[in-house]
Chain A
């Protein structure tokens, strides 16, 4: 399938980055306006800022995404398994999920702020909700594909609930969870960007919008954009790497 086309080598990543820098340099020279500073300015600035405040902003954002991923996985995966294996429950919950699933969850931001207060936790919850629905739907469909006869066969080999979980449900849901994460990590970072623009003083969203863009520090703004890009790409790469390893093993 498309899996072979997605596989990237270190060489490919390097070539891709160089091409991007070249295009960026070209565009910057063509446009010749402060809003697009060249990489020759931004990259050294980025490297210099990374050990300082920029690094802390990056850390704050990374921590929020990882916490959200963790929360989403531990809630959505078991619920997805339950829905997939209990058709009666799915008949009740299915339509509800079908309605909520396509709604962009960012619109709940004000509601979550009011309910949970203006804390880190509410930003994490918002991102967790987005990932939650992605995982829920994929794991549910995966679990629904485990036919009753498969379960009975494995039970007939002696498996009780714990062994079923260990040898059937867990291995069946891990690839589904990883796929859902890989697909949703982009959206998660985008929502993080929006959620961090206000009511916090740490995070790349805050850094890009409040600390740099609003005071017209464009080269510094681009270091934030680079950091955000790095965050998204690393998360994607990490999940993809685990996925590849898992499907081989």
Chain B
């Protein structure tokens, strides 16, 4: 197996007004894998993603990303949220280049931008062109977020993250606010993305089908205390015809059963 991209070791976390969400929770995610994280609302799946992004701090335990214990948000980690988070007063192109501006603002300090950051407009323009056309929104670069459909906004948010060339992609319910056809289209886009780049990625979702389509491995969290992770293998994720196969329905069914509280013990 590859060296783990993410190594969670003895994680303990709780919110002030609730009981423990994670205790002695350990999990390794190998480089190049695509994972889904699923569970009922309030189970801590977004919390876990935020912990991996260092936007939440663990009570105890260590999370290593790329071998380095997390102290603060990592410049090479890309994050896409359910809300596109685009600046309403900036065009798609300006939004896409926002990360470059922020990196230029701080310079290569290793905290806000990688140590090897060199501002180079030609490369920035090339990356912007590449990802805007790869995501099919090149023709919208002069538009403002308010002029776009929800799906286009989410594509712009993804472009803004990818131009910074992350080595880890964390997505929190990225397509949950979209209508089914647009959602499935974007899932295909992410499948293609993973085939082409083999970037380590984690997608939090509450949607069973989405978990099966996107995750080669699926982590199931419970709304009570999470200690031993429940992970199921899902090797057919990303197959172009997955949705039409019998395997797909089987896998969805299996997941559905595991998500019922009384059945969620022991399977690993």
Complex partner residue of A158 from B55, B89, B90, B102, CB under 8 angstroms: B102
A155, B73: Cβ atoms closer than 8 Å = yes
A157: chain B residues at CB < 8 Å are 98-99, 102, 160-161, 164
A149: chain B residues at CB < 8 Å are 81-83, 85
A156, B78: Cβ atoms closer than 8 Å = yes
Question: What residue in chain B is nearest A158 (Cβ atoms)?
Answer: B112
A102 to chain B minimum Cβ distance, whole angstroms, is 29
B83, A156: Cβ atoms closer than 8 Å = no
B77: chain A residues at CB < 8 Å are 156
For A149-163 the 0/1 string (1 means CB < 8 A from B) is 110111111111011
Complex partner residue of B112 from A147, A159, A172, CB under 8 angstroms: A159
A244 to chain B minimum Cβ distance, whole angstroms, is 14
Complex partner residue of B55 from A155, A167, A171, A175, CB under 8 angstroms: A155
Report, as a range, how many residues of chain B touch the other chain. 20 to 34
Determine whether B105 belongs to the interface, using a CB cutoff of 8 Å to chain A.
Answer: yes
B86: chain A residues at CB < 8 Å are 150, 153
Report, as a range, how many residues of chain A touch the other chain. 20 to 34
A167, B79: Cβ atoms closer than 8 Å = no
B148 to chain A minimum Cβ distance, whole angstroms, is 15
Determine whether A168 belongs to the interface, using a CB cutoff of 8 Å to chain B.
Answer: yes
- Alpha-carbon separation in the docked complex, A183 to B160 (Å): 36
A163-B105, A167-B98 known; A158+B75 contact, CB < 8 A: yes
A153, B102: Cβ atoms closer than 8 Å = no
A153-B157, A156-B53 known; A163+B85 contact, CB < 8 A: no
B85: chain A residues at CB < 8 Å are 147, 149-150, 152-154
A147: chain B residues at CB < 8 Å are 83, 85
A171: chain B residues at CB < 8 Å are 87, 89-90
Question: What residue in chain B is nearest A153 (Cβ atoms)?
Answer: B85
B62 to chain A minimum Cβ distance, whole angstroms, is 21
A167, B73: Cβ atoms closer than 8 Å = no
- Alpha-carbon separation in the docked complex, A159 to B99 (Å): 8
B18 to chain A minimum Cβ distance, whole angstroms, is 19
B245 to chain A minimum Cβ distance, whole angstroms, is 35
B78: chain A residues at CB < 8 Å are 156
B106, A153: Cβ atoms closer than 8 Å = no
Determine whether B234 belongs to the interface, using a CB cutoff of 8 Å to chain A.
Answer: no
Determine whether B113 belongs to the interface, using a CB cutoff of 8 Å to chain A.
Answer: yes
User: At the interface, is chain B mostly helix, strand, loop or mixed?
Assistant: loop
- Alpha-carbon separation in the docked complex, A147 to B161 (Å): 18
A159, B102: Cβ atoms closer than 8 Å = yes
B81, A158: Cβ atoms closer than 8 Å = no
Determine whether B217 belongs to the interface, using a CB cutoff of 8 Å to chain A.
Answer: no
A153-B85, A167-B98 known; A158+B79 contact, CB < 8 A: no
For B138-166 the 0/1 string (1 means CB < 8 A from A) is 00000000000000000001001100100
B161: chain A residues at CB < 8 Å are 156-157
A152 to chain B minimum Cβ distance, whole angstroms, is 7
A175: chain B residues at CB < 8 Å are 89
Determine whether B198 belongs to the interface, using a CB cutoff of 8 Å to chain A.
Answer: no
Give chain A interface residues in 54-79, CB to chain B under 8 Å.
none
- Alpha-carbon separation in the docked complex, A145 to B105 (Å): 25
A158, B113: Cβ atoms closer than 8 Å = yes
B83, A167: Cβ atoms closer than 8 Å = no
Give chain A interface residues in 204-239, CB to chain B under 8 Å.
none
Give chain B interface residues in 107-134, CB to chain A under 8 Å.
111-113
A168, B87: Cβ atoms closer than 8 Å = yes
A163: chain B residues at CB < 8 Å are 102, 105-106, 112
Determine whether B265 belongs to the interface, using a CB cutoff of 8 Å to chain A.
Answer: no
A166 to chain B minimum Cβ distance, whole angstroms, is 7
A153-B157, A163-B106, A163-B112 known; A158+B99 contact, CB < 8 A: yes
- Alpha-carbon separation in the docked complex, A36 to B77 (Å): 73
Q: Spell out A's residues near B (CB within 8 Å).
A: 147, 149-150, 152-160, 162-163, 166-168, 171-172, 175
Given A153-B85, A158-B106, 16 more A-B residue pairs with CB atoms under 8 Å apart are A147-B85, A149-B85, A150-B86, A152-B55, A156-B55, A156-B73, A158-B75, A158-B102, A158-B113, A160-B111, A163-B102, A163-B106, A166-B105, A167-B101, A171-B87, A171-B90
12 A–B contacts, CB within 8 A, in A order: A152-B85, A153-B84, A155-B55, A156-B55, A157-B102, A160-B111, A162-B105, A166-B105, A167-B101, A167-B102, A171-B89, A171-B90
